[in-house]
Structure 1
Amino acid sequence: MQSLRRVLMKRTALALLLMFAFCLVSNAQDKGQRPSPPAQAQCKLSDGKTITVDYSSPRMKGRKVFGDLVPYGQVWRTGANEATKFVTTAALSVEGKDVPAGSYTIFTVPAQDKWTLIINKHTGEWGIPGPRAYVTVEYVVSG
């Protein structure tokens, strides 16, 4: 009985130690210290509704971004680190397509002459999601 009690106490102590170590490591990941720090753009509409974009601001660091670091014709998370989050409290229309109020993730497919804007209902993505991906229709924005 006493040996079972010792084993349980050791396992409990080990589990607590591992949880404590995990908390220390995850707390040390300060988003403000990243090479591509978080940023936010917000637009307040006249009726009080808002459109907010949360993204990580990529740094060029002397690199060619489009067509090189971000290849043409491939899905890009439109920023660095986590995928760009788009929140609107207003129903919108983009290129004639309805975007209801809500939270979205934005991806783009850059090209030399046009970009495809993907407004995705799945949020909380880290990078580029797998093939199950895009719930909403692709919006093509030229320019």
Structure 2
Amino acid sequence: MTTLKKIVANIGLSLLAVLCITTLGLAQERGSEEPRTSPNATVSQTIGTTDVTITYGRPAVNDREVFGELVPYGEVWRTGANESTALVVSDDVMIEGNKLEAGTYSLYTIPNKDSWTIILNSKLSWGTEYDSGQDVLRFKVESQEADYMERMLFYFKDVSNDSATVVLHWDNTKVPFTISV
């Protein structure tokens, strides 16, 4: 095995060890090794040369009335379950025409029947510890009716070298917003 291959293998094993230790630590930190009711998920997309990653908890509808009931209209929602939903951008971007510097942000929303306010905040925490004084960016987008989705899902569509649309999809609602590089 060449020296370069050994270095790459050692880096890979080191990263795997860190991941295992981190995962074990998170399970112990939350006090249980049982599966979460709202499992964590991560979605990433490269737009041009910019990496965009969203990490979030995926709540289920579970025969509940979601928007307007479980998630009240007109109030700040942590947008997911458990810890804050995190949006990470590797380079400066434009989101719905607003400049956002490279970094890690928590993502909150204020749902309404026809439009939502998307909030990017600099404080990462347990999802219910929102601090409006830490808001970095707020913008409004229109929501759309959608096919039913039992578990909340973020995904990217219309990906090009210059932009992509992030879609939050849960129950019968989709909330899209565009990231441009």
Q: TM-score, normalised by structure 1?
A: 0.73
C-alpha distance in 2, partners of 1:114/1:28?
37
* Structure 2 residue aligned with 1:63: 64
What pairs up with 1:40-59 in 2 under 5 angstroms?
A: 40-47=42-49, 49-59=50-60
Identical pairs, percent: 35
Once the two structures are TM-superposed, the CA of residue 139 in structure 1 deviates from its matched residue by: 1.2
Once the two structures are TM-superposed, the CA of residue 52 in structure 1 deviates from its matched residue by: 0.2
More strand by share: 2
Can you give the 5+ residue segments of structure 1 that lack an aligned partner in the other structure? 1-23
Once the two structures are TM-superposed, the CA of residue 64 in structure 1 deviates from its matched residue by: 1.1
Q: Does 1:29 align with 2:32?
A: yes
Once the two structures are TM-superposed, the CA of residue 93 in structure 1 deviates from its matched residue by: 0.8
C-alpha distance in 2, partners of 1:88/1:99?
9
- Deviations along 1:69-90, one digit per CA (max 9) or x if unpaired, are 0000000000011110110102
Q: Which has the larger radius of gyration?
A: 1
Question: How many residues get paired?
Answer: 117
C-alpha distance in 2, partners of 1:70/1:56?
15
Q: Does structure 2 retain, via aligned residues, the 8 Å contact 1:63–1:69?
A: yes
User: Which residue identity lines up with residue 90 of structure 2 in the other structure?
Assistant: T
SS in 1 for 2:80: coil
User: Which residue identity lines up with residue 122 of structure 2 in the other structure?
Assistant: K
Once the two structures are TM-superposed, the CA of residue 135 in structure 1 deviates from its matched residue by: 2.5
C-alpha distance in 1, partners of 2:113/2:136?
24
C-alpha distance in 2, partners of 1:60/1:140?
24
Q: Does structure 1 retain, via aligned residues, the 8 Å contact 2:119–2:135?
A: no
Can you give the 5+ residue segments of structure 2 that lack an aligned partner in the other structure? 1-26, 144-181
| Cα RMSD, aligned residues only | 2.1
